[in-house]
Amino acid sequence: MKAYCIGVDLGGTNLRIAAVTPEGERLEVINLATRLHDGPHAVLDDMAASIRQLIERQNGRLLGIGVGSPGPLELPAGILHHPPNLPGFDGLNLSTELERRVGRPVAVNSDANLAAYGEFLLGAGKSCHVDSLLALTLGTGVGCGIILDRKIWQGMQGAAGESGHGPIDPNGPPCPCGARGCLEMYASATAIVRRARELGLRSMEQGSDGAAAPLTSSSVARMASSGDPLALRIFDEVGRALGLSLANLVNALDLPLYVLCGGVVAAWPLFAPRMFATIREMSYVYRMSMPADPNVFEPGKTHICAAQVTDAGILGAALLPLAAGASASA
């Protein structure tokens, strides 16, 4: 009888539920819209119904269920606290609510931690044979997950890895988190579009109605790739912010591997040169252990690379229940 796990990726827009083998192979994925307007219990009911569907259809031995959620998520309790991307979910205990519906234990962690865990088990962490890594997810916001000695480092209250809100420039643009000049204000897809608007860029692409399509981080990247100097400047700023943030993280933690995940990473050639130049300039720990070619992994050197797994988050969620003590608290 085949064995499998179920991983749930709860996002503000999409809800995805997957059956995954213990080796990380996707057996089946259910894609739904997250019914935020119907409230959190409708979303939990959708989650539970999909889990039951997968259990029925896989007809194997279910090894465990894991859920990744946007934060702030109090861990190990699994309680959401005013999550900006899940309005209405404040105070909800994700694990007990879902356990009640499916009658089985459910492991919960943050989406950024599980993306790091998925990359650790199946992606860059696996191919580089390391026990520790830090992953920054550059999407709508900037998430961060830290794996230390094969465990998710979740901190005292589950808020470790909020480096997306570490200050890059305390005089920078105000961030929804209440601070100013956070990494997220420079290196997220949202920040790229905001900067493009500030600099007066307009999409050269047409929507279905013939009007200019709205700007996205991908369209700004395409403008940069075709040589637009303002668009190039935006990705240079992305690289500089990432370099400064990574300099702080490399100096603090001295890990062998830092992985960049998320949609913005498709623009790697546009931001990586400035990122590497900045980290070389600002971190003597990086210079002590700099590889001859920043794009090639060398054992014992500090490697910074793009994610190697698509959907690391849902895979990390599925495999989370397999590892006893997969997470560590302060």
Among 51, 146, 221, 315, binds a copy of itself (CB under 8 A): 146
CA gap 311, 182 in Å, rounded: 25
Nearest 5°: CA angle at 128, between 122 and 130?
A: 85
Q: Tell me, what DSSP letter sits at residue 312?
A: H
CA gap 119, 78 in Å, rounded: 22
Q: How far is the CB of 283 from a copy of itself (least distance, A)?
A: 7
Q: How far is the CB of 93 from a copy of itself (least distance, A)?
A: 17
Q: How far is the CB of 288 from a copy of itself (least distance, A)?
A: 6
Chain residues 229-258 in contact with a copy of itself, contact rule CB under 8 A: 244, 247-249, 251-256
- 55 counts as binding a copy of itself under rule CB under 8 A: no
- Contacts with a copy of itself, 56-95, as mask; x by CB under 8 A: ----------------x--------x--------------
Instruction: Quote the tokens at residue 194.
Output: 């905001």
Q: How many CB atoms lie within 10 A of CB 242?
A: 28
- 96 counts as binding a copy of itself under rule CB under 8 A: no
Q: How far is the CB of 256 from a copy of itself (least distance, A)?
A: 5
| Window of 130-138, 204-212, 228-236, 305-313 that interacts with a copy of itself by CB under 8 A | 130-138
# residues near a copy of itself by CB under 8 A? 51
- 165 counts as binding a copy of itself under rule CB under 8 A: yes
Q: How far is the CB of 134 from a copy of itself (least distance, A)?
A: 8
Angle at which helices 111-122 and 312-319 pack, to 10 degrees?
90
- 103 counts as binding a copy of itself under rule CB under 8 A: no
Instruction: Quote the tokens at residue 81.
Output: 């606290």
- 291 counts as binding a copy of itself under rule CB under 8 A: no
- 107 counts as binding a copy of itself under rule CB under 8 A: no
Q: Which is nearer to a copy of itself, 167 or 263 (CB)?
A: 167
- 162 counts as binding a copy of itself under rule CB under 8 A: yes
Instruction: Quote the tokens at residue 181.
Output: 């000049």
- 263 counts as binding a copy of itself under rule CB under 8 A: no
- 128 counts as binding a copy of itself under rule CB under 8 A: no
Q: Which residues contact 316 (CB under 8 A, 6 or more apart)?
A: 7, 66, 68, 109, 113, 114, 115, 116, 117, 118, 119, 120, 121
- 283 counts as binding a copy of itself under rule CB under 8 A: yes
Q: Which is nearer to a copy of itself, 52 or 287 (CB)?
A: 287
Q: How far is the CB of 31 from a copy of itself (least distance, A)?
A: 31
Peptide bond into 72 cis (omega under 30): yes
Among 281, 290, 298, 308, binds a copy of itself (CB under 8 A): 281
The size of the chain, in residues, is 330
Among 85, 157, 190, 225, binds a copy of itself (CB under 8 A): 157
CA gap 85, 65 in Å, rounded: 23
DSSP for 150-206 reads TEEE--SSS-TT-GGGSBS-TTS-B-TTS-BSBTHHHHSHHHHHHHHHHTT----SB
- Sheet of strand 133-138, all strands in order from the earlier edge strand to the far edge: 303-306, 257-261, 133-138, 142-148, 151-153, 327-328
CA gap 53, 12 in Å, rounded: 22
Binding stretches for a copy of itself (CB under 8 A): 72, 81, 130-132, 144, 146, 148-149, 153-163, 165-167, 170, 177-180, 244, 247-249, 251-256, 278, 281-285, 287-289, 300, 302, 328, 330
